[in-house]
């Protein structure tokens, strides 16, 4: 909080774990700072809590869990494929590296 008060940012970008993001949203939105959240793995209830916190505090939020270029290209290609190949069934699988937090 001290750093936020000192720096007075317009936007904070958060790529932490869901538990940390939920704490951050409450603190940051009360300080009237907008957020971009790139964190994944939220439940529907957690997403509702995020929306409620930002609504109550009248702050903006962008939730972009798939912000990388590769994922966005894949999303565009899958939309195009669904239009052009509407008689086909296809599946896209996602894989993540198993990173151990210290």
Q: Is 28 exposed, middle or buried (0-12, 13-18, 19+ CB in 10 A)?
A: buried
pLDDT greater than 90 at residue 73:
no
The tokens for 26 are: 């409450």
CATH code, residues 1-89: 3.40.50.720
Angle between helices 44-56 and 18-30 in degrees, nearest 10? 10
Residues 6+ apart with CB under 8 A from 32: 57, 58, 59
Give tens-digit pLDDT for 35-56: 999 888 899 999 999 999 999 9
Residue 20: what pLDDT? 94
């Amino acid at each position: 909080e001290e750093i936020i008060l000192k720096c007075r940012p317009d936007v904070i970008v958060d790529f932490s774990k869901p538990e940390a993001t939920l704490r951050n949203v409450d603190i940051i939105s009360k300080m009237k700072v907008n957020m971009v959240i790139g964190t994944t793995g939220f439940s529907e209830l957690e997403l509702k809590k995020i929306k409620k916190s930002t609504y109550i505090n009248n702050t903006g939020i962008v939730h972009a869990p798939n912000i990388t270029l590769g994922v966005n290209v894949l999303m565009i290609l899958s939309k195009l494929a669904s239009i052009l190949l509407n008689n086909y069934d296809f599946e896209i699988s996602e894989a993540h590296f198993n990173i151990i937090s210290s």
